[in-house]
Amino acid sequence: MRKKGEIDFWDKEAVKQLIAETCPSLVEGTDPVYYCRHCMSLGIWGTEIGDTCGKCGSTDIDKATMEEYDALYEQKFGKKLFNIS
């Protein structure tokens, strides 16, 4: 059970809202995002062996602007995650 104020990071709508509120530079496209090239997750963790996807465990990590990421996500899944462009 989550405590008040905690969000479910697999809930896309909650993540969208959190990013828009706390990291407006990501939505504006000025900061890169790191994502898993295998599953497109944004849940990337730094480890002793390098960056790893927290969802699928892949180490095939790349970076892009939020707009570029949204286009790549749309290519893979047929819809945009953030719908910013």
In this structure, what token pair is assigned to residue 62? 């790349």
Residue 70 lies in a domain: yes
Domain annotation covers residue 6: no
Report the alpha-carbon distance of residue 74 to residue 30 in Å, rounded.
Answer: 20
Looking at the domain assignment, is residue 51 inside a domain? Answer: yes
pTM over 0.85: no
> Tens digits of per-residue pLDDT, 36-62?
999 999 999 887 778 899 999 999 999
Contact 5/22 with Cβ under 8 angstroms?
no
Q: Evaluate whether residue 84 is within a structural domain.
A: no
Residue 13 has a pLDDT of 77
**Count of domains observed in the chain:** 1
Residue 2: inside a domain:
no
* Domain span holding position 21: 12-77
DSSP per-residue string spanning the chain = -PPTT---TT-HHHHHHHHHHH-HHHHTT-SEEEEETTT----EEEETTEEEETTT----EEEEEHHHHHHHHHHHHSS-SS---
